[in-house]
Chains A and B, each alone.
Chain A
Amino acid sequence: MINKNPYIPIPMKVIKIIDEVDTRDIKTFRLSFLNKEDEASFKYLPGQFAELSIYGKGESPIGIASSPTEKGYIEFTVMRMGTVVPGTVTSALHDLDEGAQIGIRGPLGNSWPIEFLEKKNVVVVGGGFAFTTLRSLVNYILHEDNRKRFGEITVIYGARNPGLLLYKNELAAWQKRSDIKTIITVDKGDESWQGREGFVPAVCKEIAPSPQNAVTVICGPPVMIRFTLPVFFELGFSKENILTSLEMRMKCGIGKCGRCNVGYKYVCSDGPVFSLADLEELLRDFATYK
């Protein structure tokens, strides 16, 4: 059944659940399509998101963490939200077992601008939990069919402590590859941590990626973004070549319900990916970087 109504979710099966972090509040859900037609029509690019839907609980907009080069499934990494009042949908997702069915609507939003990134050096900067669509992008670029379309790839990824790094196995694999420079840092290591310590902005300053023919793609908590952007300005990156992905409360995901309206843009359908030049044009009552 191909579902043409953009408000009705398509059914998916949870085929694998991966606990990502020590605190056990971030899980990756691998979903497979119940209908072949849905799978064929679900064509996405890194940076897009989908509404994960549990009937009786609601829907949540979550970035797609898998790469379109991975066939047969899609993945979402979800944090259980809320400390005082639990996030209804994310809690329900976390309570699921493998084999459960959920709904999704998507793919939604724009994506990381793949064509714009082609032939350029890409500096991927991520912090904490906000690494999901960046992981999708890196895996997309690293795929053998795609790698030669892009220049040098540098990944700078940080978390508060080693236990909070996502996708640990993949990070280790990237570190072994010669066609990607992977720098992993933690704010504070533990006894077993052999790697780098330091905040993401400081590490970016130290690594000092060249702005020549380069684009940086930054995703992280507001505080990280606030201190990382000036570093890239100083390095000489232009506002058009600094990209980020916005979050905002969403409902419909297709630019109709009005909820994620910021200035004359809808984050869901005009974004979530914006360049810093785009953002400065918007009237931001959501200033995170000023």
Chain B
Amino acid sequence: MLKKISIKKINDLAAALMEKGTLLAPVKEAAGHNFAEIKDPQQLDLNYYNTIVSPKTVFLPQKEDFVRYETAKPVAEAQPVALNIKATFLFGVRPCDAKSFQIMDIHFHASGIIDPYWQKRRDATVIFGCAFDLDIPAQDADFYQTLGIGAADPEGSDVFMVKKGEDLLMKAITPQGEEILARLAMLGEGKPADKKYFEEYIKKGSQHQTRNMCLDPQVIAKKLEDIFHSGEFWQAQSAACLSCGICTFVCPTCYCFDICDDTLFSRGVRRRVWDACMFTDFTLEASGHNPRTHVYQRLRQKVCHKYSFHVRKYGVISCVGCGRCTRYCPVNIDIYSIIQDAMKA
């Protein structure tokens, strides 16, 4: 099913989606765009490259309240925080980020114990992916092509959107996508010419140039195992690293979290919050023992987790080449260069 709407009328689409549920889309903030709830249909804005923080925030928010308690009361009286999820439309996700959800799905609800929070949010959300603008060159940091993701790759989206002049073409990719497009009365039918344009755009997207190297998941996984104990390599790569952890916070596939109790005057909330393997106390044990005291050990953990351990455990590289970690690193550490150097090492 291919539908279309004039970009001038995009606010009508926003209003219709807001009636049906929560609409989340890139919203311009002082420093750039970030996903946020659209409160006014006029806020919907298609003029962004990509968001600062990845849309993982929608499924794995930085803070997730588990249970409310009072320390003076019995444990049995603690109240689990109900997760009331409304139907959600996540609008304008770039192809690399849409792919990241599939990678995270393997961890959170396709292996072992299912994470109820991730699953409920995922189930309630329809992803409206949106192709990068192929007339604009990819930013220097991006390397999603290396990970086999095209600039107009519909994989991972329920509805995929491509701009065609003054129009926005919207194609249903999954049954959920079909369903929502059928319910949006203001959309026009896509013509055969639109269909052709859409398909060619997707093909063209796979040629859209980002930094690119030939990377086989099994090969890089093995390579990183081989150089794991090369202190020299990792020390050189991490020499500038400040352990600030911003790479993990903006990353669409970093999921490490902490569970902590936040108590004030005997009332509190147990919640999970994002954590990062780059932080010094991430592995600090109560005994005082810390297996990863050095910066190089932590950067190695991050890189190897994504490009080696994840491949061994789940079969896929846990990186989509969105370039955020490189873009926001205060000391210009670039995971693409690390992988490139590792392949040569």
A58 sits at the interface (CB 8 A): yes
Interface on A for B, CB 8 Å cutoff? 4-9, 11-12, 34, 53, 55-60, 81-85, 87-90, 101-103, 247-249, 251-252, 254-259, 261, 263-265, 269, 283, 285-286
Residues of A close to B301: CB separation below 8 A: 261, 285
Binds A, one of B88-96, B130-138, B185-193, B260-268: B260-268
Are B75 and A249 neighbours in the complex by a CB distance under 8 Å? no
A112 to B183, CA, bound (A): 55
A89 to B78, CA, bound (A): 18
If A264-B309, A285-B292 touch, whether A56 touches B259 (CB-CB below 8 Å) is no
Q: Which 4 A-B pairs have the closest CB atoms?
A: A258-B256, A264-B312, A87-B286, A55-B69
In this complex, how many residues of chain B approach chain A with their Cβ under 8 Å: the count is 53
If A6-B113, A55-B71, A254-B113 touch, whether A82 touches B286 (CB-CB below 8 Å) is yes
Residues of B close to A90: CB separation below 8 A: 286
Q: Which residue of B lies closest to A270 (CB)?
A: B313
A109 to B275, CA, bound (A): 22
Are B309 and A263 neighbours in the complex by a CB distance under 8 Å? yes
Are A56 and B263 neighbours in the complex by a CB distance under 8 Å? yes
B107 sits at the interface (CB 8 A): yes
B74 sits at the interface (CB 8 A): yes
Are B283 and A269 neighbours in the complex by a CB distance under 8 Å? no
Are A285 and B291 neighbours in the complex by a CB distance under 8 Å? yes
Are B286 and A258 neighbours in the complex by a CB distance under 8 Å? no
Residues of A close to B287: CB separation below 8 A: 81-82, 87
Residues of A close to B313: CB separation below 8 A: 264-265
Residues of A close to B75: CB separation below 8 A: 9, 11-12, 53, 55, 101-103
The contact string, 1 if C-beta is below 8 Å from chain A, for chain B 270-310, is 10100101000011111110011000010011001100111
Between B259, B300, B308, the greatest number of chain A beta carbons within 10 A of the residue's beta carbon is seen for B259
Q: Which of B71, B80, B108, B266 contacts A256 (CB 8 A)?
A: B108
If A251-B259, A259-B275, A285-B297 touch, whether A5 touches B80 (CB-CB below 8 Å) is yes
Are A286 and B291 neighbours in the complex by a CB distance under 8 Å? yes
Q: Which of B103-122 contact A (CB under 8 A)?
A: 107-108, 111-113, 115-116
Interface pairs (28), CB distance under 8 Å: A5-B66, A5-B80, A5-B116, A6-B115, A6-B116, A55-B78, A56-B263, A56-B268, A58-B259, A58-B260, A60-B286, A81-B286, A87-B287, A102-B75, A249-B282, A249-B283, A251-B258, A255-B112, A256-B255, A257-B272, A259-B256, A259-B282, A259-B283, A261-B277, A264-B313, A265-B313, A269-B112, A285-B300
